[in-house]
Amino acid sequence: MNLISVFLMIFMTTLTGTIVFGGWKILSSRLDRREQFRGIRACLLAVIVFYVVPVAFFYMAFRTNLFYGSMNTPFSQQTPFLRTAFRVMAVIWLLGAVWKVIKYVQCESAVRGIIRHSMRAEKKIQDAADAVCSDMRLSRKVPVYMTVSQKTPLIVGFWHKKILLPQKQYDDDELHAILEHELWHYRQGDLLLKKACSWIVRIQWFNPLTRYLQKEVDKWGDICCDKYVCFEGSGGWDIKQYFDIVARNSGKMELELLSGMSLQKTLESLKGRVNRMMKYNPKKELKKAGILLLVAGFAMASAVTSLAAGQGIAALYDTAYEATKVIIEEDLQPQLTGLEEVEWLPDESKSIIEMPDDLLTRANNSYTWDIPAGKSQLTGQFYASNGSKVVVTVSPDPANAKVGVGLSQPNGYWRGVSGTGAYSHTFTVNQNGYHRVYVENLAGKDITVGLFVVR
> Which tens digits make up the pLDDT trace of 173-201?
899 999 999 999 999 999 999 999 999 99
**Residue-wise over 109-131: b if at least 16 C-beta within 10 A, else e?**
eebeebeeebeebeeebbebbbe
Cβ atoms of 163 and 182 closer than 8 Å? yes
Give the pLDDT confidence score for residue 175 in this predicted structure: 93
* Alpha carbon separation from 100 to 97, 106, 161, 255, 284 (Å, rounded): 5, 10, 24, 16, 42
Q: In the predicted model, what is the mean pLDDT of residues 53-69?
A: 65
What distance in Å separates the CA atoms of residue 281 and residue 227, rounded to the nearest whole number?
Answer: 10
pLDDT, one tens digit per residue, over 205-238 is 999 999 999 999 999 999 999 999 999 877 677 8
Instruction: Give me the domains of the chain, ranges plus CATH numbers.
Output: 342-454 (2.60.120.380)
- Cα 368 to chain center, whole Å? 39
What distance in Å separates the CA atoms of residue 240 and residue 426, rounded to the nearest whole number?
Answer: 79
pLDDT grade, residue 286 (50/70/90)?
confident
Instruction: Classify residue 287 by its DSSP letter.
Output: P
What distance in Å separates the CA atoms of residue 442 and residue 92, rounded to the nearest whole number?
Answer: 54
In sequence order, the β-bridge partners of residue 383 are 434
Cβ atoms of 37 and 123 closer than 8 Å? no
Q: Does residue 80 surpass a pLDDT of 80?
A: no
Q: Which position has the higher pLDDT, 267 or 241?
A: 241
The pTM score is 0.67
